[in-house]
């Protein structure tokens, strides 16, 4: 690996530090405990991805010799295992908190978890602990993976936050996990196939989706508590 690749290892923590600086400026957050915990739990969520890769090695499916195996690998082993790990922590450790009272709050938690996840995942992909040798643009993948995970975190956080507002948590939870998994799989498939045009279209689409959800999330009022709107 070259020096440029090694620098990608710290891209996620740098983005997280900038994210916290923005939150501190924009929302005057004084208690960072749960946001920092979100980042830490995101790092642990990578365990499911490692487990999924070990399982397919036991099955002898690590050789992507046909479309069926490739589809299973991209959607289940890579995307679903990653998004499920993040979803479980976001849903069962932070969703019940008073501060998780709107889509925007969910997005904040979702981004923190996503950056923690990508911090560890980038290193694992770089050293071949997870992933496949078929990928051509490895260095570009390592640099863009944290940015893509921010979008996946926005998607999960937005829909889980909508579940708090609309009280249809089951539907919104399924949408959060399913949509994030689809976008994750599409992003990885672009690199697996080395399709530059599809990657460009996907990148533009992810930026657009993130922008729309951020604007929509910011426009939705938080759920009120007995003591008024909860804060971090």
What is the pLDDT, as a whole number, of residue 115? 98
What is the pLDDT, as a whole number, of residue 30? 66
Q: Averaged over 93-101, what is the pLDDT?
A: 87
What is the pLDDT, as a whole number, of residue 164? 81
**pLDDT at residue 147 is higher than 80:** yes
Whether 229 is in a domain gets the answer no
Q: Averaged over 64-71, what is the pLDDT?
A: 86
Whether 112 is in a domain gets the answer yes
Cα dist from 32 to 24, 28, 45, whole Å = 9, 11, 20
Whether 3 is in a domain gets the answer no
**Which tens digits make up the pLDDT trace of 111-127?**
999 999 999 999 999 99
Q: Which of 88-97, 190-199, 205-214 has the highest mean pLDDT?
A: 205-214
Whether 37 is in a domain gets the answer yes
Whether 47 is in a domain gets the answer yes
**pLDDT at residue 24 is higher than 80:** yes
Whether 74 is in a domain gets the answer yes
Question: Where in the sequence is the domain holding 95, given as residue range(s)?
Answer: 16-25+33-221
DSSP string of the chain? --HHHHHGGGHHHHHHHHHHHHHHHHH-----HHHHHHHHHHHHTHHHHHHHHHHHHHHT--S--SHHHHHHIIIIIIIIHHHHHHHHHIIIIITTSTT--SHHHHHHHHHHHHHHHHHHHHHHHHTTSSS-TT-S-HHHHHHHHHHHHHHHHHHHHHHHHHHHHHS-HHHHHHHHHHHHHHHHHHHHHHHHHT-HHHHHHHHHHHHHHHHHHHHHHHHSPPPEETTEE---
Whether 6 is in a domain gets the answer no
What is the pLDDT, as a whole number, of residue 134? 73
**pLDDT at residue 225 is higher than 70:** no
**pLDDT at residue 227 is higher than 50:** no
Q: Averaged over 4-29, what is the pLDDT?
A: 90
What is the pLDDT, as a whole number, of residue 229? 46
The percentage of residues in the chain with a pLDDT greater than 70, rounded to a whole number, is 94
Whether 66 is in a domain gets the answer yes
**pLDDT at residue 230 is higher than 80:** no
What is the pLDDT, as a whole number, of residue 231? 56
Task: Please check whether residue 133 is in contact with residue 139, taking contact to mean a CB–CB distance below 8 angstroms.
Answer: no
**pLDDT at residue 32 is higher than 50:** yes
Number of domain units in the chain: 1
Mean pLDDT of the chain, nearest integer: 90
């Amino acid at each position: 690996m070259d020096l440029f690749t090694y620098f990608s290892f710290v891209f996620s923590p740098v983005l997280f530090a900038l994210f916290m600086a923005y939150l501190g400026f924009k929302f005057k957050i004084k208690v960072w405990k749960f946001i920092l915990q979100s980042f830490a739990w995101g790092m642990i969520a990578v365990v499911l991805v490692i487990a999924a890769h070990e399982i397919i090695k036991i099955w002898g499916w690590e050789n992507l010799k046909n479309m069926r195996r490739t589809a299973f690998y991209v959607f289940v082993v890579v995307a679903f295992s990653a998004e499920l790990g993040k979803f479980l922590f976001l849903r069962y450790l932070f969703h019940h908190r008073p501060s998780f009272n709107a889509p925007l709050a969910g997005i904040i938690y979702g981004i923190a978890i996503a950056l923690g996840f990508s911090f560890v995942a980038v290193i694992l992909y770089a050293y071949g602990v997870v992933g496949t040798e078929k990928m051509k643009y490895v260095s570009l993948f390592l640099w863009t993976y944290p940015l893509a995970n921010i979008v996946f975190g926005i998607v999960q956080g937005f829909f889980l936050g909508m579940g708090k507002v609309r009280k249809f948590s089951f539907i919104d939870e399924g949408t959060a996990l399913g949509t994030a998994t689809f976008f994750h799989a599409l992003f990885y498939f672009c690199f697996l196939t080395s399709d530059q045009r599809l990657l460009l279209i996907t990148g533009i689409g992810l930026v657009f989706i993130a922008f729309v959800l951020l604007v929509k999330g910011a426009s939705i009022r938080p759920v009120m508590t007995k003591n008024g709107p909860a804060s971090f």
